[in-house]
Amino acid sequence: MRRRVTNIFGAAAAFLDRSRRFGWIDAALLLAALAGAFGVARLAAEWTGALRPAVEIDLSLRALPRYTLLSLSRGLAAYVLSLLFTLGYGWWAAKDPLAERVLVPLLDVLQSIPVLGFMPGLVLGLVALFPHSNAGLELASIVMIFTGQAWNMTFSFYHSVRSVPRDLGEVATLNRFTGWQRFRWVELPFSAIGLVWNSMMSVAGGWFFLMVSEAFVLGDHDFRLPGLGSYMSVAVARGDGRAMIAAVVAMTVMIVALDQLLWRPVVAWSQKFRVEESGQAEAMESWFLDLVRRSRVLHWARGALGHASRRPRPRRERAARRSAALARAASLLLFVALLGGLAAGGAALVHLLRALPGAEWLALGGAAFLTLGRVLVSTALGTVWALPAGLAIGLSPRLSRVLQPVVQVVASFPAPMLFPAVIAVLAAAGVGLGWGSMLLMLLGTQWYVLFNVVAGATAIPADLREAARVYRLGTLQRFRELYFPSVFPYLVTGWITAAGGAWNASIVSEYVTFRGDTLMTDGLGARISAAAAAGRFPALAGAVSVMALVVVLFNRLVWRRLHRVAEERFSLTR
């Protein structure tokens, strides 16, 4: 009798124990899922709602969370789009040698084209496509952000798929993994780490375009969207300092939250996809991931999902061969369609450009030199402070522990949000936009240099630093002979990214609307903005083409060579 009681008691205790593990983290996750569903429903209403002639921005603090969430939803939607594009395009380029020959150079050109140059055309086109709802404008904003996010992710994925180690690929071949199994078990895991890092970079860079596209005004057409970008622009227009600060705080909170709740956990989780045995000395940790791993709900969900995906599909040799043939045909068809699209696009572009008189081309050439100069000066200025600062941070474990997260947040902060404040200061100091625009470019791009130098400095082998200390090298000699050469490859990467960002930034920093006035200085970026504002499409196409050409040429002639020198002479890993 007694034993039975104990048994019953034991069972009950075990049940309670199990149910107790259904802890608050589960409740939080369920709540988050509900909130997410509600948010999506609200978003759908927002999208399909009647087209607003002009957005009314409520500057009260109560409205701010809603604007922040709207901005966040656009950033995330664009990221999902970028990820899908990356997986599709990157995989296709890596798998089809015929398509690869077009897809890879095309990607190279695409990433050189200043995204903001597309904006007017994109916005007008999509708004015309959805004349009665907000969907067109929302889509335009998302596609804008997408064009700022996708390319580097795609390149990273393409390279990873191409460089799957031979033996890992052979296991898949020998055991006749299906295309999907090879993708799911080999290629995707192998690319995971690169994809995660590039995703972080891309999303951080995406806020820049989000701010610009939310506050977009073309001539006297108001294309603004409710969000942090428009909130900020209205606050600036009205000179509302409290609202400006609130917007900056909201942006910061959003970036920190994303970092802690999304990227940290994903980075920590992705460590299991490391291929090399040792590598990365410090263990990546995330408090949120640890919490989530304790969740029971997630555990159940994963089990159920895993079970569903494990249903076997009987293999039929002939069916497999037929589907392979089908895939080849589809690939060829897509390829032909791509070529057709490119040819049509090229023809349309040539037609547009023919309307542009010769004198205008000449002026564009001059403007290109002006902007090139600004891009280089702003990159150089960034290097002047970021190189010593990056070395200081990277060489001191204490400093890098404290400052690294701060730098990450600051770097993700979209520079256009700060433009109005900087312009006000510049105007007060009597500095024109000719010089001031360089400062505006610098605002967004200096972080790339800093980031890369910090990474390079942390990677300097301890024995090299010890040798420098043992032989009592002076500070200057140490910098010249150890630090600078060892961070040089990283510095070059930083320069390439920073210069790319500066080209984009030139479009919004050489031509600025400030308190109702338009400030501008001659340059390629200003010409793009001005042509867009006036709706002169041949001029717009011409300016964008020239910029793309200059960027591609400069990449080929300067950056790539510098990169090769850095890799061959200063790489520490060879």
Q: Which residues bind another protein (CB under 8 A)?
A: 165, 167-168, 170-178, 181, 185-186, 189, 192, 272-275, 277, 310-315, 568-569
CB 255 within 8 A of CB 405: no
Least gap, CB of 311 to another protein (angstroms): 7
Least gap, CB of 324 to another protein (angstroms): 11
Least gap, CB of 337 to another protein (angstroms): 30
- What Rg, from alpha-carbon coordinates, does the chain have? 27
The 10 Å Cβ neighbour count of residue 1 is 5
In the complex with another protein, the residue whose CB is nearer, 242 or 569, is 569
Could you tell me the CA-to-CA distances from 371 to 140, 449, 454, 574 in Å, in that order? 27, 20, 28, 37
Least gap, CB of 459 to another protein (angstroms): 21
- Greatest Cα pair distance, the chain, in angstroms, is 104
In the complex with another protein, the residue whose CB is nearer, 3 or 310, is 310
In the complex with another protein, the residue whose CB is nearer, 238 or 321, is 321
Q: Look-up: residue for tokens 């042509």?
A: 531
**What does the alpha-carbon distance between residue 107 and residue 85 come to, in Å, rounded to a whole number?**
12
Least gap, CB of 190 to another protein (angstroms): 8
CB 247 within 8 A of CB 210: no
In the complex with another protein, the residue whose CB is nearer, 47 or 273, is 273
Least gap, CB of 29 to another protein (angstroms): 24
Could you tell me the CA-to-CA distances from 124 to 118, 119, 137, 161, 537 in Å, in that order? 10, 8, 9, 37, 12
CB 251 within 8 A of CB 206: no
In the complex with another protein, the residue whose CB is nearer, 165 or 397, is 165
Least gap, CB of 172 to another protein (angstroms): 8
**What does the alpha-carbon distance between residue 37 and residue 43 come to, in Å, rounded to a whole number?**
10
The 10 Å Cβ neighbour count of residue 547 is 28
In the complex with another protein, the residue whose CB is nearer, 313 or 472, is 313
Least gap, CB of 168 to another protein (angstroms): 6
Least gap, CB of 559 to another protein (angstroms): 19
Crossing angle, helix 484-509 and helix 188-214, to 10 degrees?
40
In the complex with another protein, the residue whose CB is nearer, 492 or 539, is 492
The residues that bridge with 520 in the sheet, in sequence order, are 511
Nearest Cα to Cα of residue 394 among 457, 463, 447:
457
Least gap, CB of 201 to another protein (angstroms): 22
Least gap, CB of 455 to another protein (angstroms): 23
In the complex with another protein, the residue whose CB is nearer, 238 or 561, is 561
In the complex with another protein, the residue whose CB is nearer, 279 or 358, is 279
Least gap, CB of 263 to another protein (angstroms): 19
In the complex with another protein, the residue whose CB is nearer, 139 or 193, is 193
Amino acid at 474: G
Where in 178-334 does DSSP place strands (E)?
217-218, 221-222
The contacts of residue 50 (CB under 8 Å, 6+ apart) are: 132, 133, 134
In the complex with another protein, the residue whose CB is nearer, 131 or 312, is 312
The residues that bridge with 85 in the sheet, in sequence order, are none
DSSP string, 60-100: SGGGHHHHHHHHHHHHHHHHHHHHHHHHHHHHHHHH-HHHH
The 3 state secondary structure assigned to 405-461 is HHHHHHHHCCHHHCHHHHHHHHHHHCCCHHHHHHHHHHHHHHHHHHHHHHHHHHCCC
Cα 517–Cα 419–Cα 150 angle in degrees, nearest 5: 115
In the complex with another protein, the residue whose CB is nearer, 220 or 276, is 276
